[in-house]
Amino acid sequence: MSGITIGHLYPEHLNIYADRGNIAVLDRRCAWRGIPFEVVAVDVGDPLPRADLYYLGGGQDRDQMLIAGDLVRHAADLASAVADGAGVLAVCGGYQLLGHSYRGHQGAEMPGIGLVDLVTEAGSTRMIGNIVLECELDAGDRRRLVGFENHAGRTTLGAGLTPLGRVLSGHGNNGSDGGEGVHAGGIIGTYVHGPLLPKNPWLADWLIRRALAGGGSGEPLEPLDDALELEAGRVAQAIAGA
């Protein structure tokens, strides 16, 4: 059976709020189904491996500053991997660096890789709390996504870009336009930690299915018993008041 290779960018620097847990969820959900799963870590100075899905977690401004220049080295290769069907999942600090630039809370401007048309600037307050979104990654298939956000960055999407979801409770990209994250083909960017995937198994499966299909929507995956995950999601929604 064909498997999945994850390119995990900067696991030492971008791993705030246990974002590494997202990899653990992808790993387990593949293992339970007998899907071979491999993670290749990419640290500063390393070459970019071929992967079905590239992952970047969140980080504080100072951590982002340490890797932003190195990430720019991979901008062209990441763009061509995405054009060839690879997916990208980027959380918070990693999400910000998918765009053109991020001006941090002390005013330093970090370069992004311009993979998606968005810019981010830190505001004077942090946007913190539980968050609930309504997403529709595939037409007609509406899903709730729950988690936790904590960011100073305000992200503005370019015209024509679609957010990952509509904020039902929480702040989202900038606290004003009602959108959270970005969804562009196989690219998902989001401010949602928790980590993201344990309470949102449907999104983990969306990523796995796409990665297995090399970018297409692929075959439905064998269902798993998600009772515990869904209950955690329901509790989180209740706490968020959505």
Among residues 96, 106, 148, 103, the alpha carbon closest in space to that of 127 is found at: 148
In the complex, least distance from residue 61 CB atom to ligand GLN, rounded to whole angstroms: 4
- Specify the residue, 35 or 122, whose C-beta has the smaller distance to ligand GLN: 122
- Active-site hit among 13, 30, 74, 92: 92
> Residue 30 catalytic?
no
Binding residue (CB under 6 A) for ligand GLN from 41, 66, 152, 230: 152
Continuous segment of H or E residues that includes residue 215: none
Angle at CA of residue 113, ends 24 and 135, nearest 5°: 55
58 is an interface residue for ligand GLN by CB under 6 A: yes
93 is an interface residue for ligand GLN by CB under 6 A: yes
- Specify the residue, 153 or 201, whose C-beta has the smaller distance to ligand GLN: 153
101 is an interface residue for ligand GLN by CB under 6 A: no
In the complex, least distance from residue 175 CB atom to ligand GLN, rounded to whole angstroms: 12
Rounded-to-integer distance, Cα 206 and Cα 148, Å:
20
Among residues 24, 30, 23, the alpha carbon closest in space to that of 2 is found at: 30
Rounded-to-integer distance, Cα 105 and Cα 89, Å:
24
180 is an interface residue for ligand GLN by CB under 6 A: no
Q: Are 206 and 165 in contact (CB under 8 A)?
A: no
Virtual torsion, Cα 235, 127, 60, 13, nearest 10 deg: 30
In the complex, least distance from residue 154 CB atom to ligand GLN, rounded to whole angstroms: 8
Q: Are 110 and 101 in contact (CB under 8 A)?
A: yes
197 is an interface residue for ligand GLN by CB under 6 A: no
Q: Are 222 and 33 in contact (CB under 8 A)?
A: yes
Binding residue (CB under 6 A) for ligand GLN from 11, 44, 60, 77: 60
Sites for ligand GLN among residues 121-150 (CB under 6 A):
122, 150
- Specify the residue, 191 or 202, whose C-beta has the smaller distance to ligand GLN: 191
Rounded-to-integer distance, Cα 93 and Cα 59, Å:
5
Q: Is 44 exposed, middle or buried (0-12, 13-18, 19+ CB in 10 A)?
A: middle
92 is an interface residue for ligand GLN by CB under 6 A: yes
151 is an interface residue for ligand GLN by CB under 6 A: yes
- Specify the residue, 28 or 126, whose C-beta has the smaller distance to ligand GLN: 126
> Residue 193 catalytic?
yes
Rounded-to-integer distance, Cα 118 and Cα 22, Å:
24
- Specify the residue, 171 or 210, whose C-beta has the smaller distance to ligand GLN: 171
Residue nearest ligand GLN, Cβ-based: 58
- Catalytic residue list: 92, 193
Name the site residues for ligand GLN (rule: CB under 6 A): 16, 58-61, 64, 92-93, 122, 150-153
